[in-house]
Structure 1
């Protein structure tokens, strides 16, 4: 069985407080985007195996979230040995949730492949054990994410038909580095309220709090944001804790995109 784990963007990200467990409570809109990896899982009568292609993924295969997802379910179910192959396309350290998507899709494939009959809620509970935003990719629809980014509230944001340009500047930002520079604070207006307004009001109102500390450290990110606006974006922002920047457009940009060839640029329709 093969599926295509997709990326997500954050539309606004408010860091509201640091938790006693060391994590941060946040508020953000998670929105799925069709920039995808490819994941294939097959049962095997031989030894279990996990292979990779595409972008180089650091760490041992047994430390990959896909394999951890398999072992997590194997603790509770009598799963047979599998052959799993991940073709990695979504950049890492990019704020796009690619690794989390891979893990969540592993759970979903195993659930379907071996008729485990797990509900979406059960799958989300397993996904939360693998990472803060893994659970989002179980149902994979726009939500307001709160707490650690693993508790979801319904949201009526609908960007269907909008064009998106994602720009990854060929370097990642670790979660630890991003959070080291932030100072959580309660926002003047809740993101949920701001997101009920027209998208053309988002530019000055819907903010990713990571930008304040990461833009001075990585000025190229601010430059990309301004370039996206110069191309006609109605709204541009950093996704997650970076380093990907994105722009939302009513129509696809017609002029050549002004980004270096070593950047990864993806365009599509939401």
Structure 2
């Protein structure tokens, strides 16, 4: 088996809707959401080491190696399995931090999936998801590897089918700390729960994000982006922000909107995915082992 895994994708997610349905005694919020994978990704390289050390080989602005989720994910897998191997980790960061795209969680999930393969630790997907939950509520979804209806704090997942489409995503240029949104007194915490059967491909993009009102009040540039993009469809914020997105039936439609976006914002288009691209990559790796 190879001692390296290169160009491993850590794709972004969009929340097609996000409802806050309650709050647990420990302070965690109960959510319902639909996660959609898209084809814009961070990329990671892994090189196994024999000395047991876990080393991030490149600098990431404002993210010390010791607190980086990819380092913590590698350490967690190492400790959980007693694996004597180490790894050199290289993260090529493309997704914005504080954008609601799940970049850090996706990086951690790809790290767990890649090292489970590289180190031959042999954990099942369910075991990796349970480990991932210790790192963050969105990590299990990325390991789950399919578009999903999620409940609980985001860890109870059921596979769903979503329409093939293209998305325009605007980065409004603000970094939103998730705690600032969830701690706001104005946050709606009692949205009536829905059933997965209520969620249809015809209706999904018309559901709301309960966090959006709070984010727009605290960060006016998010509201500006939502208002601007709404002229082309049902635009909404993803996650706890700050990125704003809108769905389009084809790439040409998305491209036309991209051409009109004000220069003050970074914007890009991405295609919907059916499954996590790491699944195919690891299947190819297994064929050559």
Tell me the TM-score normalized by structure 2: 0.84
Which stretches of structure 1, 4 residues or longer, exceed 6 Å deviation after superposition?
A: none
Give the distance between the partners of 1:244 and 1:12, measured in 2 at CA. Answer: 14
Report whether the alignment pairs 1:221 with 2:222: yes
- Higher normalized helix content (fraction of residues): 2
The answer as to whether partners of 1:12 and 1:191 remain within 8 angstroms in 2 is: no
In structure 1, the partner of 2:183 is 180
Please state how far the C-alpha of 1:268 moved relative to its aligned partner. Answer: 2.0
- Which residue of 1 is the match for residue 241 of structure 2? 242
Tell me by how many angstroms 1:12 deviates.
0.8
Matched, 1:259 2:265: no
Alignment of 1:101-112 (within 5 A): 101-112=106-117
Retained in 2: the 8 A contact 1:101–1:134?
yes
Is there any run of 5+ residues in structure 1 with no aligned partner, and where? none
Contact 2:55 2:71 in 1 (8 A): no
Q: Structure 1 residues 119 and 45 mapped into 2: Cα distance closer, same or farther (>3 Å)?
A: closer
Q: 1:192 aligns with which of 171, 174, 196?
A: 196
User: Does the Cα contact within 8 Å between 2:50 and 2:84 map onto a contact in 1?
Assistant: no
Alpha-carbon distance change, 196 to 83 in structure 1, aligned in 2, over 3 angstroms? same
Aligned to 1:44: 49
1:143 to 139, 148, 152: 148
Deviation of residue 194 (structure 1)?
4.4
Aligned residue number for residue 65 of structure 2: 61
- Give TM-score scaled by structure 1 length: 0.89
> Alignment RMSD, CA only?
1.9
Q: CA deviation at 1:57?
A: 3.9
Say if 1:81 and 1:154 are closer, same or farther in 2 by CA, change over 3 A: closer
Q: In 2 relative to 1, CA 241–7 (structure 1 residues): closer, same or farther, beyond 3 Å?
A: same
Matching residue within 72, 77, 85 for 2:90: 85
* SS, match of residue 19 in structure 2: strand
Deviations 1:184-243 (A, max 9, x none): 0032x62635421614x743xx0000112222222322221232232x33x321100000
Instruction: Name the stretch that deviates more: 216-225 or 12-21.
Output: 216-225
C-alpha offsets along residues 48-80 of structure 1, whole Å, 9 cap, x if unaligned? 421235xx4424201111011111111122231
